[in-house]
Every structure is written in structure tokens, then in C-alpha cells.
């Protein structure tokens, strides 16, 4: 009888131990600090986050899960309460996000610039430092142009330039929207010999250039500012406010700004920190 009891008891004990251990591991995993950040394809595809986020994790212990979208889609994601923090680059849209009560406070983080990319032969002779004149030539020449068409910060900047040129409805027959991220848009331009507006960071990290080159740069209207903000818990009570604020505080701090400044490709700095300015 005793032997029978011993044999039946041991497997039960092992099973119970395994269950307790698995529950403990699951509990530890569920309590691990992590936040979801809605951000842009430019910050992701430029390689910035691969450089930046390990430094933040080391400083804070918080993991950041990035969902890279166009700025408009990233803000929509945060409006639904599916993100804890937003890191994007369309100040007008960001200010509205805060004014509508979805963001706690928008803070500037860094900047770079947009550049007009096109085939080295430059058939429409767009090369220069005036983006509006370049768009006028694109329209007049029905030039092949790949638009993100995805409500991203880059797309919003592009539309501003068409509006400034008074050509919002006269972009030319070569104008095509891909509804895609920056990397895919550059791939389409490379394979078709088209022009495309890109952020400099993604361009510098882009490998499949074919014969594409920078044609228009240096126009102050090509300035590209990035901002960060936590999602307002008054709209979505489940957001991880404390950990999101840790990221906001770190990215605008001297150590966070130094990490941004230190990200370079081929010796060229991709983003320029300007928190508090």
C-alpha cells in the first residue's frame, strides 16, 4: 500500500511543481516592464531605433515595442489606445492630437531634413535647392513621381509643397501613390527611375539605390522636426503612463540626446537633437 501511494504521489507532485513553475514564469513575463510606441517608418527604417532603444533599456529597464507606421496611422493607433507613447514628425497633426486630449504634451526631440531623390540623369532638370520650383517642373513635365500616399509625415510634407506651388490638383500624369512606407517607396523609385521625396535618414540607410541620387536639398522648407508625447490616460486608462514617461524623459535628457547625436552612417549624422529648443 505504501509503495502504491509513493508511486501515484510522485507524478502528481511533479505535475504540480511544473504547473507552479510555469505560472511563476508567466507571471514574471506579464510583469516585465514594456511599452508600445507608435512611430514612423523613417525612425525605424533609418536604423535609429536599433541604435537608440538598447541604450534606453539599459538606462531604464523598460522594453519598447515599436509599431512603425506613417505618422497619421501612428496617431490613429494612439487615439484608439493601442500605444503608450507616440514618436512622429508632423507637428500640425501632433498639436491637434494634444488639443483633442489624446496626448499629454508634445515635446520636440530631434530634426533632420527631407530631400528630393531622383535619377542621376535628372531628365526634368530638378537639381537645386528650391523644392517648390522642382515640383512645378514635375507637374509641367508630367514627371514620374512616387508619393507615399499614406498620411505619413513625409506625405504631409509633400502635400504642403504641392499646395505652395498651387498645384494640388495638377501633379502631372506621372504622379503615382503607393500607399507604402519610405523604404518601399524608394524601392519603387529605384526600379522605375522615378522621383521621390524622402527623409534623409532613411535615404542614408537605403542600400538599393540603383542610379538614384539627391537632387534637391538645402531648402528651409525641407526641415523635418520630430516630436514625442505620452498617450493621455484620461482617454485610455490602461496606458502605461509611468513607463511611457520614462521614455519621454530619457529621450529629451542629455544622455538620450547624446545617443541620437551619436547615430551615424558612413560618418554622416542622421538626426540632430534639439529637445528644449
Summarize pLDDT for 112-168 with one digit per residue, the tens.
999 999 999 999 999 999 999 999 999 999 999 999 999 999 999 999 999 999 999
Cβ-proximal residues to 195 (8 Å cutoff; 6+ apart), any chain: 116, 117, 118, 119, 124, 126, 138, 143, 144, 145, 146, 189, 215
For the record, the C-alpha cell of 123 comes out as 531628365
- pLDDT of amino acid 276: 87
Q: What does the mean pLDDT of the chain come to?
A: 90
Are residues 151 and 89 in contact, defined by beta-carbon separation less than 8 angstroms? no
Q: Is the pLDDT assigned to residue 209 strictly greater than 80?
A: yes
Confidence of residue 32 (pLDDT cuts 50, 70, 90): low
Is there a common fold for 30-111+225-273 and 114-222? Answer: yes
Closest CA to 197 of 80, 117, 129: 117
- Which residue, chain included where needed, has cell 525641407? 222
- Which residue, chain included where needed, has cell 504622379? 175
Residue 1 CA to its chain's centroid (Å): 68
Helices 241-251 & 254-261 angle (0-180, nearest 10): 60
Domain ranges of the chain: 1-28, 30-111+225-273, 114-222
Which value, to the nearest 10 degrees, does the dihedral of the CA atoms of residues 123, 128, 132, 135 take?
Answer: 10
Quick one: fold of 114-222?
D-Maltodextrin-Binding Protein; domain 2 (3.40.190)
Cα 109 from Cα 229, distance rounded (Å): 10
Mean pLDDT of 55-72: 97
CATH class of the domain at 30-111+225-273: alpha beta
The model carries a pTM of 0.85
Amino acid at each position: 500500500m505504501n509503495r502504491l501511494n509513493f508511486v501515484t504521489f510522485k507524478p502528481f507532485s511533479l505535475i504540480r511543481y511544473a504547473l507552479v513553475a510555469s505560472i511563476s514564469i508567466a507571471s514574471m513575463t506579464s510583469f516585465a516592464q514594456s511599452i508600445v510606441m507608435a512611430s514612423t517608418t523613417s525612425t525605424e527604417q533609418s536604423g535609429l531605433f536599433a541604435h537608440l532603444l538598447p541604450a534606453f533599456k539599459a538606462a531604464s529597464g523598460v522594453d519598447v515595442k515599436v509599431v512603425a507606421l506613417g505618422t497619421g496611422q501612428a496617431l490613429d493607433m494612439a487615439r484608439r489606445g493601442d500605444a503608450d507613447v507616440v514618436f512622429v514628425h508632423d507637428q500640425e497633426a501632433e498639436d491637434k492630437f494634444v488639443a483633442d486630449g489624446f496626448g499629454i504634451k508634445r515635446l520636440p526631440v530631434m530634426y533632420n531634413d527631407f530631400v528630393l531623390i531622383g535619377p542621376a540623369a535628372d531628365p526634368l532638370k530638378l537639381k537645386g535647392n528650391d523644392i517648390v520650383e522642382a515640383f512645378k517642373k514635375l507637374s509641367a513635365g508630367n514627371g514620374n513621381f512616387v508619393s507615399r500616399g499614406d498620411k505619413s509625415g513625409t506625405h504631409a510634407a509633400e502635400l504642403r509643397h504641392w499646395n505652395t506651388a498651387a498645384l494640388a490638383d495638377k501633379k502631372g500624369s506621372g504622379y503615382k501613390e503607393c500607399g507604402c512606407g519610405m523604404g518601399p517607396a524608394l524601392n519603387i523609385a529605384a526600379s522605375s527611375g522615378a522621383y521621390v521625396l524622402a527623409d534623409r535618414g532613411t535615404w542614408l540607410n537605403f542600400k538599393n539605390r540603383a542610379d538614384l541620387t539627391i537632387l534637391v536639398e538645402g531648402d528651409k522648407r525641407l526641415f523635418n522636426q520630430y516630436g514625442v508625447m505620452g498617450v493621455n490616460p484620461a482617454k485610455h486608462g490602461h496606458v502605461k503612463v509611468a513607463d511611457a514617461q520614462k521614455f519621454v524623459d530619457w529621450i529629451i535628457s542629455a544622455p538620450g540626446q547624446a545617443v541620437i547625436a551619436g547615430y551615424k552612417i558612413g560618418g554622416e549624422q542622421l538626426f540632430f537633437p534639439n529637445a528644449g529648443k
